[in-house]
């Protein structure tokens, strides 16, 4: 009888341990996916302005053309339009394992579409287009610390090793990839002559695959 009882208790204990380990794996997986999308979102939110500045510098383009260049560059980045949706889906999975963290993760997906929308509105008015680069820089100074604090919180929930790796990553400067700049520079000559002087306001043609 005692042996049977011990067998039942051992079996129950092993089952509970298995459930705990499985739950922890699911927890880390959900948070890891959301963290990965959040890091990519931060990357593109910060890098777009730098790519625009570099391309505009090569073209010697005025501020109003820099605003239009943003739309061109966005059209050349594969999967950029889907990034906010992917982030929302990843963050939704966190709700099942950590509702509080899932609540905190809401909102960053609006940063990139909102910046693009504001840039588009600015491009339609020359006076607004001229001041947009400076305004965007100020917005980034306000948004970046909050976005990175959220990244650190998600990394801590994933594990201390991830938290340390994320801290190191966030300390590194965000540098625009040279291949992205070169691709944009190769695409811009497809515009009619004089585009760098402001005739790009009609918007970019469809990006080639």
196-205 per-position pLDDT tens digit: 444 444 444 4
- pTM for the predicted model, two decimal places: 0.73
Q: Is the pLDDT of residue 158 over 80?
A: yes
pLDDT tens-digit map of 92-123: 888 877 888 888 888 888 888 888 888 888 87
- Of the listed ranges 26-35, 54-63, 154-163, the least confidently predicted one is 54-63
Write out the DSSP string of 8-53.
Answer: HHHHHHHHHHHHHHHHHHHHHHHHHHHHHHHHHHHHHHHHHHHHHH
* Measured distance CA(93)–CA(105) in Å, rounded: 11
Kindly state the helix (H) or strand (E) to which residue 201 belongs, with its residue range: none
């Amino acid at each position: 009888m005692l042996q049977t009882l011990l067998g039942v208790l051992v079996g129950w204990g092993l089952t509970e341990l298995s459930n705990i380990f499985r739950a922890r794996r699911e927890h880390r997986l959900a948070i890891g996916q959301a963290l990965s999308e959040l890091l990519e979102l931060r990357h593109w939110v910060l890098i777009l302005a730098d790519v625009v500045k570099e391309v505009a510098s090569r073209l010697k383009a005025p501020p109003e053309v820099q605003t239009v260049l943003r739309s061109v560059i966005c059209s050349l980045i594969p999967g950029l339009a889907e990034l906010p949706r992917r982030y929302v889906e990843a963050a939704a999975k966190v709700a099942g394992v950590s509702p509080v963290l899932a609540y905190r993760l809401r909102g960053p997906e609006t940063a990139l579409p909102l910046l693009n929308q504001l840039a588009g509105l600015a491009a339609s008015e020359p006076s607004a287009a001229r001041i947009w680069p400076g305004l965007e820089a100020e917005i980034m100074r306000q948004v970046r610390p909050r976005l990175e604090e959220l990244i650190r919180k998600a990394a801590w929930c994933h594990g201390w090793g991830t938290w340390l790796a994320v801290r190191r990553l966030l300390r590194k400067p965000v540098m625009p990839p040279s291949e992205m700049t070169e691709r944009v520079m190769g695409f811009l000559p497809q515009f009619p002559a004089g585009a760098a002087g402001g005739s790009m306001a009609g918007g970019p043609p469809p990006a080639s695959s």
